[in-house]
Amino acid sequence: MIGYSEAPIAWGMTRGMARVLGVNLPKAVVDGWLTRRELATLVNRCAACTQQSACQSWLSRAAVAPCLPVFCPNKGELEVLALPH
- Contact present, 14 and 25 (Cβ < 8 Å): yes
> If you average pLDDT over residues 8-17, what whole number do you get?
94
Question: How does DSSP classify residue 64?
Answer: S
- The answer to whether residue 26 is domain-embedded is yes
Average pLDDT over the chain reads 92
Task: Say if 1 falls within a structural domain.
Answer: no
**pLDDT at residue 1, as a whole number:** 44
- Does residue 55 lie in a domain region? yes
Tell me the pTM: 0.89
79 neighbors 73 (Cβ within 8 angstroms): no
2 in any annotated domain? no
Range of the domain at 44: 8-82
Q: How many domains does the chain have?
A: 1
On whether residue 67 sits in a domain, the answer given is: yes
Model confidence pLDDT, tens digit, residues 21-58:
999 999 999 999 999 999 999 999 999 999 999 999 99
